[in-house]
Chain A
Amino acid sequence: MTSWQNNRAARDARIAAGAGLARGKVVEAHDVTRLLEAVVRSGDRVCLEGDNQKQADLLSRALLAVDLSKVNDLHMVQSGVVLPEHLDLFDRGVAKRLDYAYSGPQSARIARMLFGGKIELGAVHTYLELFARYFIDLTPHVALIAAVSADREGNLYTGPNTEDTPTVVEATAFKDGVVIAQVNEIVDTVPRVDIPADRVHFIVKADKPFFVEPLFTRDPAAITEGQILTAMLAIKGVYAPYGVQRLNHGIGFSTAAIELLLPTFGERLGLKGTIASHFALNPHPALIPAIESGWVRQIHSFGSEVGMDDYIRARSDVYFTGSDGSLRSNRAFCQTAGLYACDMFIGSTLQIDLQGNSSTVTTSRIAGFGGAPNMGADARGRRHPSEPWLKAGAEADPDGSALMRRGRKLVVQIGETFGDKNVPLFVEKLDAIELAEKLKLDLAPVMIYGDDVTHIITEEGVANLLLCRTAQEREQAIRGVAGYTDVGRRRDHGMVSRLRERGVIRRPEDLGINPLDADRSLLAARSIKDLVRWSGGLYAPPSKFRNW
């Protein structure tokens, strides 16, 4: 007789093998490596929860220490490759194959290891894409997750950084996988149940709280006049004419500058209530002045941010909060919201080519994509209309039938023509292509494809690619805002000035902006301390951002 429950039986066997080390579901921290040796099988697909913020750091160290004769050649399927231990697994041979989405701080090392053949790469995904594959062909056998607290039954409270946890657990627990959670504390009653106990098989109390990095805090003190100018151009040249209310911001300094200009420059332009009211966004501290000034109606978040807990709790009209009052974030839902319910994505990148393709990959760094490609893509499945979406669609196809014409999401790339160390933003050929050739990848790791990009904003002006009718116009529109980079200096001056007459390129003076007015006094907050003041003392920045 054919058995149809082999996987369930295998899962039960794994749990039984680990049960000897547990009291109920609770395993002592010093027994975790032995637990993993008992539960994990060589070649397993393992999701080691590495989110943007929340890291299952104890479990990653424990996995790194396994006996290689018992556990090896794992296939890691995790969104964030963020901790050094995540890559040490491959150096040691515990893991062999990798499918991931984001590698921020490990981007240089991951590039070296890919070149050195230490990692067998499946693909670099967007978050939603990897989450989707958890349910189709990359379902984890074992999920190693992190939460703030657990009760003795195994109900988990994830705290404000719920992030990927529900998605990972859903895919693992309901398809015969084993879920092991590290928690900061074991309590009698959790503040709220983010993960029900019947999806959790083992819990481990960590000796110290899981590692959280303040990734979304931009110190206003570091915002430059150039970034303020590009922010002014964005507000007056894109937010205002399209009336963008539903949007997502990237995490760079240019978008932080926009957030800090809303209550000052935006207020003077009379834009309050007409732009920037509904966000898919982490709780950016830089948005506090706009929230306090009544600009922002609602924010749904991918994850939380260090120091924002009390502020969020006190501003539940704006944020999504649980019955306990703290933030409930959810990366999968927020990514979906950014893809389908936002009319604009605005963010920065490292390289833009002549077609408008952009990438954060350079030959020495593979940072991954995170969520930008989901935010920064036209959602072909979208069916509901909105004014900015319809207007952008009409600009792209002025002769099409209004009832049959798709709208367009505004996908805006913002940045300074030269980045850190005078590295140009604009290039003739993306490093991503060179990398793909070297690594023999089927696809170059492009973050946002040129045909999705609608606007490029630099300190030199705004290029509206929706209004370009030919590839040549598109190229010159890009060159026309590329400043003094090689790409910019090789522009066709005649064509660029014709594009400017048509409003395809708009310079600061075309928008009534004097670059000499781009002054730091325009920022609603010029320091982290100012943000604390705006929050009425509710924002508690981490020590690394203090100067008091």
Chain B
Amino acid sequence: MEDLNFQHQVRARAGGTRQRAIVGVVASGNLEVLVERSLPDAECVVDIKTAAMGFGAVWSAVIGDFVERYSPGGLKFSINDGGARPDTVSLRLAQAVRLIAEAGQ
């Protein structure tokens, strides 16, 4: 297992009112993303525990593009990864943002 952590300053706070959401499952080639609205508005943190070693640079690029595109301010993302491909990671992150942007708790 490898632990990775990325912290970004972001332009704007993420939309919606839900406090947390979870998408995905931990399985081969899949991952779960737990997102919590627990940070100051201009911050975004992504914590990753991954089964695939040595992909730090790819994760950095994926997370960088994601933060640039969605401006997920105030959100903390916690990821358990079963060795998902980058496109799957991007998709789950986008799904997590969509879910927490819904109305609700």
Contacts and interface: CB of A to CB of B under 8 A. Distances in A.
Nearest to B62: A484
A227 to B, nearest CB: 10
Contacts of B90: 515
Interface string A189-232: 00000000000000000000000000000000000111000000
A417 interface: yes
Interface in B84-105: 85-88, 90-91, 94-95, 98
B98 A516 contact: yes
Interface in B22-75: 52, 55, 57-58, 61-62
B98 A417 contact: no
9 contacts: A226-B85, A226-B88, A226-B91, A418-B85, A422-B52, A484-B58, A516-B91, A516-B95, A516-B98
A464 to B, nearest CB: 21
B52 A226 contact: no
Residue among A416, A483, A518 facing the most chain B CB atoms (10 A cut-off) = A483
B95 A422 contact: no
A225 B94 CA distance: 13
A459 interface: yes
A484 B90 CA distance: 11
Nearest to A514: B94
**For the complex, would chain B's binding face be called helix, strand, loop or mixed by DSSP majority?**
helix
B59 to A, nearest CB: 9
A489 interface: yes
A483 B61 CA distance: 10
Given A226-B85, A226-B87, A226-B88, 17 more contacts: A225-B88, A226-B91, A416-B85, A416-B87, A422-B52, A459-B87, A484-B61, A484-B62, A484-B86, A489-B57, A489-B58, A489-B61, A515-B90, A515-B94, A516-B91, A516-B94, A518-B91
Contacts of B85: 226, 416-418, 422
Contacts of A484: 58, 61-62, 86-87
Contacts of B52: 422
Given A484-B61, A516-B94, A516-B98, A418 B87 contact: yes
A484 B87 CA distance: 8
Report the contact-size class of chain A (Cβ under 8 Å from the partner): 10 to 19
A484 B62 CA distance: 7
A3 to B, nearest CB: 67
A424 B7 CA distance: 27
B90 to A, nearest CB: 8
Contacts of A518: 91
B32 to A, nearest CB: 15
Given A422-B52, A489-B61, A417 B94 contact: no
B54 to A, nearest CB: 10
Nearest to B92: A225
A226 B92 CA distance: 11
Interface string B1-21: 000000000000000000000
B95 A417 contact: no
Contact of A418 (B61, B86, B91, B98): B86
B14 to A, nearest CB: 15
A458 to B, nearest CB: 8
B39 to A, nearest CB: 24
Contact of B91 (A417, A422, A483, A515): A515
Contacts of B87: 226, 416-418, 459-460, 483-484
A361 to B, nearest CB: 22
Per CB-CB distance, the 5 closest pairs between chain A and chain B, nearest first, are A484-B86, A418-B85, A459-B87, A484-B58, A226-B87
B86 A483 contact: yes
Given A225-B91, A226-B91, A516-B95, A417 B61 contact: no
A46 to B, nearest CB: 43
Interface in A491-548: 515-516, 518
A348 to B, nearest CB: 15
Nearest to B52: A422
Contacts of B58: 484, 489
Contacts of B62: 484
A76 to B, nearest CB: 38
B55 to A, nearest CB: 7
Contacts of B94: 515-516
B96 to A, nearest CB: 11
A357 B98 CA distance: 38
Given A226-B88, A416-B87, A422 B61 contact: no
Nearest to B94: A516
Residue among B52, B58, B95, B98 facing the most chain A CB atoms (10 A cut-off) = B58
Interface string A244-261: 000000000000000000
A225 B57 CA distance: 24
A422 B55 contact: yes
Contacts of A224: 88
A422 B83 contact: yes
A240 to B, nearest CB: 23
Interface string A399-430: 00000000000000000111000100000000
Interface in A9-33: none
A438 to B, nearest CB: 26
A101 B55 CA distance: 37
B21 to A, nearest CB: 14
A518 B85 CA distance: 16
B95 to A, nearest CB: 6
Contacts of A460: 87
Nearest to B86: A484
B58 to A, nearest CB: 5
Contacts of A515: 90-91, 94
Contacts of A516: 91, 94-95, 98
A373 to B, nearest CB: 28
A225 B86 CA distance: 13
B52 to A, nearest CB: 6
Contacts of B57: 489
